[in-house]
Structure 1
Amino acid sequence: MHDHSSGEQSDGANLEQLRQRIDHIDSELIRLISERAQCAQSVARVKLAEDPEALFYRPEREAQVLKRVMALNPGPLPSEELARLFREMMSACLALEQPIRVAYLGPEGTFTQQAALKHFGDSAVDIPLPAIDEVFREVESGAAHYGVVPVENSTEGVVNNTLDSFMDTSLRICGEVVLRIHHHLLVGENTRRDRISRIYSHAQSLAQCRKWLDAHYPHAERVAVSSNAEAARLVRSEWHSAAIAGDMAARRYELSHLAEKIEDLPDNSTRFLIIGNHDVPPSGEDKTSLVAAMRNQPGALHDLLEPFHRHSIDMTRLESRPSRHGVWNYVFFIDFKGHQDDPLVRAALEEVRLRAAEIRMLGSYPVGVL
């Protein structure tokens, strides 16, 4: 016969010791986080003393901090999870200095809002707007410090409204966010699965789920609306309708999941750009975007691209859009690795300027960390 009482007491004592250890660690964390926040306030005072118009949010500095956190991570938490914790801490500390106002393509619950929160943290003041061009205007006017707009999807390609808006603005790209996109079929409490006759979503989302819809709801009307969140808002008060949207929209409009992850391609993701009024210094791992107008002549595109190849600059995206000046003229949007202040990049850009009819830098900015 075995006496289990001593073992149970030992386990209880060990558990109590672990809890006391956690309490001690929590106390240290609170002290250190408060100390970090006080240090951030001191940084703000120094900046203001040197320059009353100083920028408190520095994209290159945040990228460097997050990359350092991920590099130093000993585990067991995944590096991205640890970086997200630091993102929220930095967001809260920054709000002590100056709350950041961020405009995004709304309404509440869109993937663009999710990208804004991922990049700026929950302490930012977010401003939903109904159209991409309005996000640009909000930042241009100074009503928002930054804006967040979608620029391309891995399945459906570029967002033309965003590219067109860059042709008429002096704003700079200050950062990027890549968001893994999962689409769900959502319904309100009054809708039955076998009675769905209409499905709302953004046009790109409908396209990204085309095969799934053909297989499961081939006879349902597909209605394109301004955003996935708007689709969720409509469905909340309708019968016999469903919405394709994400988890944030489901929570915001209190909808239930009928089906999850219905996107046709499992690696579906969307890239978003952060727009602002200033240039960003090098972070050590950067990307540059520009728009170039070429003369309408044979070999124009080759002449534009050749300097990048010769200087071994890695081009990551090339898109063409019809120019607003002259029939059948085009402008080219180019993304490449490197900062515009890098010597090799600077040399290539000087050659491109000589060959292009016009070139406008859209900005150099840190490669997305999270």
Structure 2
Amino acid sequence: MNVSLAYLGPPGTYSEAAALSYVKQARTRTGMEYLLCPYPSIAQTLQAVAGGEVQIAVVPVENSIEGSVTVTLDTVWQLDKLRIQEALVLPISHALISPMESLSQIKTIYSHPQALAQCQGWLEQFLPQVQLIPTNSTTEAVRQLEEDPEAGAIASCRAAELYEMPIAAYPINDSPDNCTRFWVVSLQPSPGGSHTSLAFTVPANVPGSLVQPLQVFAQRNINMSRIESRPTKRSLGDYLFFIDLEADTRTAIVQSALEELKGYTNILKIFGSYSIVQG
């Protein structure tokens, strides 16, 4: 039986690369076969799992240069029942793909907003006059070259190969250590591991309302590797908070912390404990 796996498509995206990396490792562990299913947006990718269309999704959650992928955080919060199975860290190297013979002939650059931002310094140095146009995915950017021959796209070398487009420059990301963390999510309970992700709202936006939840972990020497606020979308100044812990919910100390945390929060959602692997 095939396990269906959703990712941000079309084929050739970095999400597909992360999905392929996960599948390679998962086959060894489980002996199962995987069917990759591309979706046109990150939100639709996650909704496919929540709605039972597929069994697993691989979605980007954080980049080492540009920070969190907010649509992933917002959608996971809204969908509520998704659980993280694993985190996968993938090195990201961008290529400029274009049919033009020289950089001076390129008038427009297409790519996903994250990719454009990760190559901002290179673009300012070598293509300062081009128009930058965001797309839903890096592969969608490559597809634009068929209709706009005076353009370029920022995407993976695999995308250039799949769509038979020449690479004009590589690598062009501003940081050689550029990497993205992906979450593997499903409706199954999380397996446990070295990290835990959760999110919560506080009862009121008053002084000290965030300090008390954070002290729950500090008093127990539980390290937080990430904290980020996101608007609740209910009113201006109303936030929810995402936290990553270097701890496992299966341990007694974390269970004690989460029980106390309930008293300081309005809504608390625990997305699971999982391991982080290198792609």
TM-score normalised to structure 1 length: 0.70
Whether 1:286 aligns to 2:194 is yes
Q: Residue 332 of structure 1 aligns with which residue?
A: 241
C-alpha change, 1:238 and 1:336, in structure 2 (3 Å) is same
CA distance in 2, matches of 1:367, 1:206: 26
Pick from 98, 106, 109: which aligns with 2:12? 109
Query: Percent identity, aligned pairs only?
Result: 36
Q: How does 1:130-209 map to 2 (within 5 A)?
A: 130-169=40-79, 170-188=81-99, 191-193=100-102, 194-209=104-119
Q: Residue 177 of structure 2 aligns with which residue?
A: 267
Q: Deviations over 1:16-57 (max 9, x none)?
A: xxxxxxxxxxxxxxxxxxxxxxxxxxxxxxxxxxxxxxxxxx
Give 1:271 deviation, angstroms: 0.8
CA distance in 1, matches of 2:274, 2:228: 19
CA distance in 1, matches of 2:45, 2:147: 28
Q: Residue 48 of structure 1 aligns with which residue?
A: none
C-alpha change, 1:327 and 1:239, in structure 2 (3 Å) is closer
Highest CA radius of gyration, 1 or 2? 1
CA distance in 2, matches of 1:143, 1:263: 35
Q: Residue 12 of structure 1 aligns with which residue?
A: none
Whether 1:299 aligns to 2:208 is yes
In structure 2, the gaps of 5 or more residues are 28-32
- 3-state SS of paired residue (2:78): coil
Q: Kindly provide the amino acid, as one letter, of the partner of residue 291 in structure 1.
A: A
Q: Kindly provide the amino acid, as one letter, of the partner of residue 87 in structure 2.
A: E
Whether 1:313 aligns to 2:222 is yes
Q: Kindly provide the amino acid, as one letter, of the partner of residue 110 in structure 2.
A: Y
Give 1:161 deviation, angstroms: 0.8
CA distance in 2, matches of 1:330, 1:220: 37
- 3-state SS of paired residue (1:136): helix
CA distance in 2, matches of 1:197, 1:113: 28
Pick from 238, 254, 260: which aligns with 2:164? 254
Q: Deviations over 1:169-213 (max 9, x none)?
A: 11111111111110111123xx22131111111111111111111
Q: Kindly provide the amino acid, as one letter, of the partner of residue 19 in structure 2.
A: A
Q: Kindly provide the amino acid, as one letter, of the partner of residue 126 in structure 1.
A: L
Give 1:237 deviation, angstroms: 4.5
CA distance in 2, matches of 1:156, 1:340: 29
Pick from 120, 125, 134: which aligns with 2:23? 120
- 3-state SS of paired residue (2:49): helix
- 3-state SS of paired residue (1:168): helix
Q: Residue 255 of structure 2 aligns with which residue?
A: 346
Q: Deviations over 1:77-125 (max 9, x none)?
A: xxxxxxxxxxxxxxxxxxxxx3111001111111001001111128421
More helix by share: 1
More strand by share: 2
Give 1:238 deviation, angstroms: 3.1
Q: Residue 92 of structure 1 aligns with which residue?
A: none
Give 1:281 deviation, angstroms: 3.0
TM-score normalised to structure 2 length: 0.92
Measured on the aligned residues, the alpha-carbon RMSD in Å equals 1.5
- 3-state SS of paired residue (1:341): coil
Asked whether the 8 Å contact 1:279–1:364 carries over to 2, the reply is no
Asked whether the 8 Å contact 2:195–2:247 carries over to 1, the reply is yes
Asked whether the 8 Å contact 2:88–2:277 carries over to 1, the reply is yes
Q: Kindly provide the amino acid, as one letter, of the partner of residue 213 in structure 2.
A: L
Q: How does 1:7-46 map to 2 (within 5 A)?
A: none
Q: Residue 125 of structure 2 aligns with which residue?
A: 215
Whether 1:225 aligns to 2:135 is yes
CA distance in 1, matches of 2:15, 2:126: 28
Q: Kindly provide the amino acid, as one letter, of the partner of residue 270 in structure 2.
A: M
Q: Kindly provide the amino acid, as one letter, of the partner of residue 361 in structure 1.
A: I
